[in-house]
Structure formats: C-alpha cells, structure tokens
Amino acid sequence: MRKFYLLFIILINSLVYSQCWKTVTSGYKTSYGVKNDGTLWGWGVNEFGQLGNGTTVDSTIPIQIGNENNWTEVFAMDGSSHVLAIKKNGTLWAWGWNAWGQVGNGNTTNVYTPVQIGTDQNWKSIACYDTHNLALKTDGTLWSWGNNYNGQLGMTGGHRYYPTQVGNDNDWAVIATGLESSYAIKTNGTLWSWGDNNRAQLGNGTFGISNNPIPTQIGIDTNWKTVSAGHVRAAAIKTDGTLWQWGEKFDFPIAAPYQTTPIQVGNQNNWKDLELGYLYATAIKTDGTLWSWGYGELGDSVFHNFTANPIPVNSQNNWKSISSGMYYSMGLKYDGSLWVWGSNSNGVLGDGTTITKLYPIPIGCPLSLLSTNETTIDYSFDIYPNPAKSTVFVKGNIDIVNISIYSIDGRLIKDLSTNNKKINISFLEKGIYILKVQDKDHNFYTKKLIKE
C-alpha cells in the first residue's frame, strides 16, 4: 500500500450549460457524447453492451464509459447497436452488438467495453449503421468492415471482420452510412454511393438492384459538401448551400414511392449541416436556425404524420450541430449545451425519464464533484460478485468502519453503518451504484456496483 492524494469522484447531474459537450451522436435507442474534458458518456438501451460499461443495464441518465479523458469522436446511427470512437492519439475503438463482425475485432461476439481495433494511429473519421462501418484515415484512404450482403462495404466477396481498404484511392473526404448502403464525397467534390439500391437510395437513377459493390459516382456535379443517410434514403448539401434528397420518400406515395436521383428540397441556398433519422430529417442553416421534416416528433411541439418541407423547430439561432436517432434527435448549441426531443423509450433522451418530449429540452452536464482526501490505497480492494443480485462481499485488507451506497448521480441511497464485509443489496433497484467504504484511518475506497 502507498499514500497519495486521491481525487474522490462522485458523478452528479447539474444543469450547467456552458463548456460541457463537444460532440454527441444518436444510435438505435442509445445516445453518446464526448465532453470538452475528453470523457466519454452514454445513456439509453444497453441490451448488447453498447453503453460500454461492462453490463447490459439500461440508464436514463448519462454515465461515464471508462475513465479515460482522451476521446475526440464517437459515432452511432439510428439503426446501430454498436459504437465506434476515436481517441486523441488516432486509435480506433468499438463495442456493442457484433453479430456480423461490425465491431471489427475479428469475431462475432458482443463486446461490453471499448476495445481497440488494430494498432493504427491515423484514423480520422467514422460512420456506422446497423451491421457495417466506414472509416477514413488521415491519408485519405477509405476502409470498411462488417456485413457485406449487399455490397455495402464497397467490395466483392463476403463479410469482413477487420477494417479492410476500399480500393486504392486516397482522396476520400466525407463518409456516411445507411441501411446496407454507403456514401462518400471525394476531395474534388464528387459524390459516390454503393450497396443496396432496393429503394433507390443510391441516387443513380435506378432502383430494385440489391447489390452494387463498387463505389459509383452520382451524377457529374463536383460541388458536394456533406452527405447523410437514414435507413433507405439520403440527403446532401452542396457548396452553394442548396439541399438535395433521394431514395424512399418519407410519405411513401403509392404512385411514385422512390426518388431515384437527387432532387432539391425547396429553393433556399443557406443550408449548413444535416442529418437524417429513421423517418425524418433535421438540418441547420447558416443563420444558426434549426429545421426538420418528415414523420414524428420534429421538435416544434406537434406530432407530425408527415410534412414534406422543412419547418422551423423554434426561433433560436445558436444551433451548432445535430444528431438524429431512430425516433429522436439531439442538438448542440454554440454554448456547449445539449438539447433533446422525440421518443424517449428506455431513457434514450438522458433526462432521467422515459417520457416523450415534443420540443427540445436541456440535458444537464454530468460533472465531477472533487474533494481531496489523504487516502491509503490498497489495490487488492474489490467487491464480488459484481454484478450481483442480493449480496456482495468486500475483498481486501481493510478494517471497515462504515459502508455507504450512492446512486450514480451522487445521491446517498443508504448509509449501512456496518463493518461487515458481507453486504445485503437486495433492497436496491436494478442499476448502477457507487459503493463507498471507510476504514478506521478515515481512508475511503470506492467501487462501481452493478445490481442485477
């Protein structure tokens, strides 16, 4: 054992809006975010371990994934139950559902905590959907892995269980993924697509062909800026600020359900960014206003059966970025605050409830409340079993004088006032807790406790 000053961290939720979130992303029914301090957080459904905390317990509030503070990017999509992330050192990490090898670690076993994919340190950007992924390296090369049933990996042959280079080009700049289809923009502004085209989602003037494994240019334009895909449709913005869309139409009209080539949405030329969800789209204009169209909770306090044209979410003009999930959306403002709206099944909005929100509400930043204590650390300290259903035991050479259990957001659940190393936890609801142990020398030890 050795002595040093330990920063005892208790996680709390506080509505502090400024300087908090750096980036957020929406998955199937799970959300993720990287804070400005480089820590990684997740909330919502955890069926396949996609929260990355080693459990399958859902969470209705943001919980930290690991304790590293060097994350820069995280990505999930409305159809994905796995996650990709990049660290500051350029390494690639993944976790969650892995039935098609989409995690990229060489097998098909679900992964419950982030694992590094390969050893390369030059990953730049990432995109994923249900069962496949795309990634760009800093040298401009394009890589893919996972399910290749419809050629969505951009190559012929079977599935890939590790990142595999797509062709030999090194001029790729932007990537996006849909349901078994893929999209990319090159540095020369050309737009490309490949994979499934059953719903005209490739935008090449045809539909019904299910396997297009070779990246093919869409049209001849050379001024594409960004592209996004959602399920079986896609949209893109040109450098002139115009917005274009193709694939299955949101309202699915019987007479002409598919748009086989990009068609302009409205006549505005001040679009800045967009993201497609499952049955809707959300976009930001250059003036910072937020717009949406399609089906569902679009953020304007009304449930829409369908709206074809973009409508303003509200009158605010400080929106920075957006992310759209299965039936919900998240938006970041320039002050670093996070706002969410839409369906809230399994707590995917992160507000501690499962109540649907028809308009944007703020999500408090999970903060670290720090207090310094001179602490003796015994690295044999542990609790087992963990996860546990009714009883846990404290392991380690500790003369216990008190044991307390806290919620993950720092609230005291129960002070046990015991020195017994056998702890009854049957009274706890299923979830994640912090177990705090005090010894006779007033040192404190903490462990994350998972109640099944």
Last residue of a domain, one of 343, 367, 391: 367
Q: Is the model more confident about 107 or about 250? A: 107
pLDDT at 404: 85
Q: Is the pLDDT of residue 368 over 60?
A: no
Give the list of residues 6+ apart from residue 40 with CB closer than 8 angstroms, or none. 32, 33, 34, 52, 64, 65, 66, 68, 71, 74, 85, 114
Q: Are residues 359 and 397 in the same domain?
A: no
Are 358 and 303 in contact by the 8 Å Cβ rule? The answer is yes
pLDDT higher than 50, residue 305: yes
Q: What are phi and psi of 338, to 5 degrees?
A: -110, 130
Residue 62 lies in a domain: yes
9-31 pLDDT, tens digit per residue, is 334 343 334 358 999 999 999 99
In this predicted structure, the answer to whether residue 63 has a pLDDT above a threshold of 50 is yes
In this model, does residue 3 exceed pLDDT 50? no
User: What's the start-to-end Cα distance of the chain, in Å?
Assistant: 32
The reply to whether 388 and 363 lie within a common domain is: no
CATH number at residue 326: 2.130.10.30
Asked, for residue 77, whether it belongs to a domain, the answer is yes
Q: Are residues 322 and 403 in the same domain?
A: no
Tokens of 243: 């917005």
In a domain, 294, yes or no: yes
Distance (Å, whole) CA 235 – CA 244: 5
Q: What is the pLDDT of residue 53?
A: 92
Same domain, 44 and 116: yes
Band of pLDDT at residue 374, cut at 50, 70 and 90: very low
List the Cα angle 427/431/436 in 5-degree steps: 75
CA distance 247 to 191: 15
Structural domain count of the chain: 2
Mean pLDDT estimate for the chain: 89
363 and 391 in a common domain: no
Burial class (CB in 10 A: 0-12, 13-18, 19+), 427: exposed
Closest CA to 183 of 124, 233, 229: 229
pLDDT of 244 > 80? The answer is yes
The domain containing residue 255 runs over which residues? 11-367
- pLDDT tens string 335-361: 888 999 999 988 999 998 999 999 999
Q: Is residue 1 part of a domain?
A: no
Q: How far is CA 124 from CA 74, 178, 422, in A?
A: 11, 20, 48
Tens digits of residue pLDDT in 313-339: 999 999 999 999 999 999 999 988 899
Q: Collect all residues with Cβ–Cβ distance below 8 Å to 411 and sequence separation of at least 6.
A: none
* 208 and 249 Cβ atoms separated by less than 8 Å: no
Can you give the pLDDT at residue 266? Answer: 95
What 3-state DSSP class applies to 79? coil
Same domain, 135 and 237: yes
Give me the pLDDT at residue 29, please: 94
Structure confidence at residue 410 as a pLDDT band (50, 70, 90): low
344 in the same domain as 279:
yes
Residue 80 lies in a domain: yes
Alpha-carbon gap, residue 203 to 324, rounded angstroms: 21
Based on the domain organization, do 236 and 147 belong to the same domain? Answer: yes
Q: What b/e readout covers 366-381, taking b as 16+ CB neighbours within 10 angstroms?
A: bbeeeeeeebbeeeeb
**Per-residue confidence band for 409, with pLDDT thresholds at 50, 70 and 90:** low
Q: Which of 335, 367, 399 is the last residue of a domain?
A: 367
Residue 5 lies in a domain: no
Q: Output the domain CATH number for residue 438.
A: 2.60.40.1270
Which amino acid does the sequence have at 386?
Answer: N
Checking if the pLDDT of 371 tops 50, the result is no
Q: What is the rounded CA–CA span in Å between residue 81 and residue 88?
A: 24
Residue 296 predicted with pLDDT over 90: yes
Residue type, 95: W
Residue written as tokens 């730049």?
124
- 232 with 246: CB under 8 angstroms? no
Residues 318 and 221 reside in one and the same domain = yes
Q: Are residues 195 and 249 in the same domain?
A: yes
DSSP 414: E
Residues 279 and 390 occupy one common structural domain:
no
CA distance 157 to 150: 10
Q: Is the pLDDT of residue 366 over 80?
A: no
Residue 59: the pLDDT is 93
Least confident piece of the model among 143-157, 253-267, 357-371, 412-426 = 357-371
Which of 318, 346, 367 is the last residue in one of the domains?
Answer: 367
Token pair recorded at residue 195: 């994979």
**pLDDT of the residue at 295:** 94
% of the chain at pLDDT higher than 90: 73
133 or 251, which is more confident? 133
Preceding amide of 385 cis, omega within 30: yes
- Band (pLDDT 50/70/90 cuts) for residue 434 is confident
Q: Is 6 a domain residue?
A: no
User: What is the pLDDT confidence band of residue 380, given thresholds at 50, 70 and 90?
Assistant: low
Decide if 92 is inside a domain.
yes
Same domain, 382 and 292: no
Q: What is the DSSP string of 46-76?
A: -TTSTT-SSS---EEEEEE-SS---EEEEE-
- Say how far residue 93 (Cα) sits from the centre of its chain: 13
Maximum mean pLDDT: which of 171-185, 198-212, 398-412, 419-433: 171-185
